[in-house]
Structure 1
Amino acid sequence: MRRFLFLFVLLLAAPYAFADTIAVAVAANFTAPMRELAERFRRDTGHELQLSFGATGNFYAQIRNGAPFAVLLAADQETPARLEQEGYALAGSRITYAVGKLALWSPDPALVDEGGEVLRRGNFNRIALANPRHAPYGAAAMAAMQALGVHEPLVAKFVLGENVGQAFQFVASGNAELGFVALAQVYEAPGRLRPGSLWLVPQTLYPPIRQDAVILLPGAKDGRPTEAVARLLTYLQEPAARALIRAYGYE
């Protein structure tokens, strides 16, 4: 009987016997959905994700300097492609895991109007955005303001965040009255928006924010992804994961 119980426990533990910990660099805009996906992934596969959140441009520099990330979930397509070309990522491993949307948001329910005219009125002291030099959502915000012809009048009011996560924190904390953020950040839970006022910036005003994931060299062995890393990229494309990503406002 004891032997039977021992074997039964071994069978139950088998799927987790070779569980790995995967170091994943994640674009700041994808923080909330990725935390939830990481918990689901651990529950379903036994593999742990060690998540680091930040600006895609900063991750690029860290990876080139030897940071041991196994996977990068970027906020753009260009950075993963560049890492492939430069030999820091596994060729042919890129996938598009989300298409982001830019939003202008304020905790003040009366500040941001549905047409974004607040940008022309300029009746605020500070507007937050991610640094456009290395954060794709910051570059998208700059493109939108330039398309609207409001960039020059607003430059003096800019508060630049290291990434879109920091830009969001500037607005949420009141250090800026409004800001350009990822639509996903305005969700306090899947399908439920935070209080405040919001303008969903028309996608015709900025280049598409296609967000690619890529397997980095520490996530591969002998030119092939490890089992855990391959499983993660497959997991991101499964219907349940896609449904959660859509629930945070991504396409």
Structure 2
Amino acid sequence: MLKKIVLGSALLVSSLFSGDINIAVAANVSYAIDDLKKEFNKLYPNTNVKVTLGSSGKLTAQIKNGAPYDLFMAANMKYPQALYKDDLAVTRPLVYAQGSLAFLSSKKIDFSKGIELLKQKDIRKIAIANPKTAPYGTASVEAMKNAKIYKQIKNKFVFAESISQTVAYSVTAADIGFIAKSSLFSDKMSKYKQGVNWYSVDTKLYTPINQGIVILKKAQNNSEVKAFYSFILSKKAKKIFEKFGYLVP
């Protein structure tokens, strides 16, 4: 009898969660978002999670212009904090993961010099996410300035609109690029080897990239959005983020 009651309660909860939710997601999370959705749908199989990927700056501009997103997973805390301040978000921004930078090249690279290698003559083009709209681009510039090489190499930059586009540029249009380390943990990136094609950027050179999440005003009474929000902050989600190279709070 107890099993029937529990099963009935589970079916009732599942039936209550049976709509679409629209989430805006920073491009660096594109590699982990499918696994996150799959795990969430094990708990809420009838909720359809629709994802729009982009740079945090552009997604924030869309939200301010009325884009119908329910939840925002940004690449840093700056943008969700701005939305919260402007009363466009109903939850105070919380850190869901912490991102880090890596170098990537399709070529075999000697990484023994660290970030100084960017000054080499055979490094003619450096891919970087647009620092005006992409937090990983901002972190990349900060790393170069702290290493005191920015002015010497800024004419080599090839700008991408998002960190995911930077990955593509790093192995096609440029000799090397600054990417989100998380992108290296997808299956399609397995051909690029650590110490040969990619290497972590010294974390002492840039401010840790705290990535923030908020529920947006449109969805303040949406129970399915609240469920997804809680899931992203859960232990199950943290394990997925760790799998994709993130640090978790």
Instruction: State if a TM-score over 0.5 links the two structures.
Output: yes
Post-superposition CA distance 1:72-130 (Å, at most 9, x none): 000011111110110111043x2211000011111223354472332132422211010
What displacement does 1:241 show? 1.3
Letter paired with 2:180: A
Tell me which residue corresponds to 2:75: 75
Q: Alignment partner for residue 176 of structure 1, among 146, 150, 174? A: 174
Who is 1:207 aligned against?
207
Question: Using a 3 Å threshold, how does the CA distance of structure 1 residues 31 and 217 change in structure 2: closer, same or farther?
Answer: same
Aligned equivalent of 1:44: 43
Mapping of residues 1-251 of structure 1, within 5 Å: 13-18=11-16, 19-46=18-45, 47-92=47-92, 94-110=93-109, 112-113=111-112, 115-172=114-171, 174-189=172-187, 194-195=192-193, 196-221=196-221, 226-251=222-247
Q: Distance in 1 between matches of 2:220 and 2:9?
A: 28
CA–CA distance in structure 1, aligned partners of residues 117 and 125 of structure 2: 12
Are the aligned partners of 2:183 and 2:189 in contact in 1 as well (CA < 8 Å)? no
Q: Is 1:76–1:210's contact at 8 Å kept on the other side of the alignment?
A: yes
Which secondary structure state, in structure 1, belongs to the residue aligned with residue 186 of structure 2? strand
* Cα separation, partners in 2 of 1:191 and 1:58, compared to 1, 3 Å: closer
1:131–1:138 contact (8 Å) kept in structure 2: yes
Shift in Å, 1:192: 6.0
| Equivalent position of 1:5 in the other structure | none
Change (3 A) 1:14 1:189: farther
Q: 1:190 to 1:155 in 2, by over 3 A?
A: closer
Q: Post-superposition shift, 1:207?
A: 1.3
Which amino acid in the other structure matches residue 225 of structure 2?
V
Q: Deviations over 1:171-226 (max 9, x none)?
A: 23x111210010001222499683352221122111110000000011113xxxx2
Could you tell me how far apart the structure 1 residues matched to 2:228 and 2:63 are?
19
How far has the Cα of 1:248 moved from its partner?
1.0
Pairwise CA distance, 1:60: 0.9
Shift of residue 245, structure 1, vs aligned partner: 0.3
**RMSD of equivalent CA atoms:** 2.2
CA distance in 2, matches of 1:130, 1:138: 4
How has the CA–CA distance of structure 1 residues 243 and 12 changed in structure 2, closer, same or farther, with 3 Å as cutoff?
closer
Percent of residue pairs bearing the same amino acid type? 27
* DSSP 3-state at the match of 1:22: strand
The 8 Å contact of residues 100 and 211 in structure 1, kept in 2 or not, is answered as yes
Displacement, 1:11? 7.7
Distance in 2 separating the partners of 1:31 and 1:118: 29
Range that drifts further, 142-151 or 114-123? 114-123
Higher relative strand content: 1
**Structure 1 residue 13, shift from structure 2 partner:** 5.0
> Unpaired runs of 5+ in structure 2?
1-6
SS at match of 1:117: helix
- Closer/same/farther in 2, CA of residues 20 and 66 from structure 1, 3 Å limit: same
1:10 Cα deviation from its structure 2 partner: 8.1
Distance 1:236-1:243 versus aligned 2 partners, 3 A rule: same
**Cα contact 1:190–1:247 (8 A) shared by 2:** no
Q: 1:205 to 1:228 in 2, by over 3 A?
A: same
TM-score, length-scaled by structure 2? 0.88
User: 1:100 and 1:190, CA in 2 relative to 1: closer, same or farther beyond 3 A?
Assistant: farther
Q: Secondary structure at the match of 2:102?
A: strand
